[in-house]
Structure 1
């Protein structure tokens, strides 16, 4: 009866629920992708840092051997 008073069509509430669920799913997917991207970028940065540290250590070892 309220839907008649407001001029809404029957079934609009059901469509609203579908839209809300779809919106929630879109947001959850976007958040998941963002978290995965941040995680991946952090891992790549860590790998670059570890690689650089390893290269620096190798350089130090080489310099130590050159001095002898």
Structure 2
């Protein structure tokens, strides 16, 4: 087996591969968590906006009825 200069065979190379795989797993997990929080915040914002809109519409209807 031929190795490039500076490339070490054996456990050290396996350790580097494991470290790189671990970093990739952590980065993916963080990205997924950030995306999930972002989606949840957007959904919460939509619900809040819908609630405010409904309250405003109800207020307008109430005011119209009060004028009569």
TMscore range, shorter length = 0.7 to 0.9
TM-score by length of 2: 0.83
Corresponding position of 1:30: 29
Give 1:11 shift: 1.1
- Runs (5+) with no aligned partner, structure 1: 1-9
Corresponding position of 2:45: 46
Q: Does 1:63 align with 2:62?
A: yes
Corresponding position of 1:3: none
TM-score by length of 1: 0.83
Aligned length: 59
After superposing on structure 2, the runs of 4+ consecutive aligned residues of structure 1 that deviate more than 2 Å are none
Corresponding position of 2:4: none
Higher helix share: 1
Name the Cα RMSD after superposition. 0.8
- Runs (5+) with no aligned partner, structure 2: 1-8
Give 1:60 shift: 0.3
CA distance in 1, matches of 2:63, 2:45: 27
